[in-house]
């Protein structure tokens, strides 16, 4: 069975600084991978997804993620964060027709 780990519960970065949120998965084959963002009062929004092909995936709001098979990782990055990026971020894995979400990383932005 697959599993997902987001090692960082909270991350704080200054506005304008770069960001990397970590996601590690466990699955025998290449899974389908997703990053979602959850803001208060709003539903989860898909930032990007990886199914196959180019391992560097571009998403919305300036986010990107890189699939690294050798490290079983799918880390989310943004070169320069904005105060509006403060939210909860979830990594998700689909494999064997099951979807598993990580526990989330809460992003705090310092002015």
Partner 1 sequence: GAVVSQHPSWVICKSGTSVKIECRSLDFQATTMFWYRQFPKQSLMLMATSNEGSKATYEQGVEKDKFLINHASLTLSTLTVTSAHPEDSSFYICSASRLAGYYEQYFGPGTRLTVT
Q: Given the rule CB under 8 A, which residues bind partner 1?
A: 4, 9, 32, 36, 41-46, 49, 51, 90, 92, 94, 97-104
At closest approach, how far in Å is the CB of 94 from partner 1? 5
CB distance 95 to 31 below 8 Å? yes
Identity of the residue, 54 or 97, whose beta carbon is nearer to partner 1 in the bound complex: 97
Identity of the residue, 15 or 49, whose beta carbon is nearer to partner 1 in the bound complex: 49
Q: Is 55 left (phi over 0), alpha (psi -120 to 50) or beta?
A: alpha
């Amino acid at each position: 069975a697959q599993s997902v780990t987001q090692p960082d519960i909270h991350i704080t970065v200054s506005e304008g600084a770069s960001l990397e949120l970590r996601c590690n998965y466990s699955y025998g084959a290449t899974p389908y991978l997703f990053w979602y963002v959850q803001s208060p009062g709003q539903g989860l929004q898909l930032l990007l997804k990886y199914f196959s092909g180019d391992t560097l995936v571009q998403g919305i709001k300036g986010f990107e993620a890189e699939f690294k098979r050798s490290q079983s990782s799918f880390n989310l990055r943004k070169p320069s964060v904005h105060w509006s990026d403060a939210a909860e971020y979830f990594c998700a894995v689909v494999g064997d027709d099951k979807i598993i979400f990580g526990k989330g990383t809460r992003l705090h932005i310092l002015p």
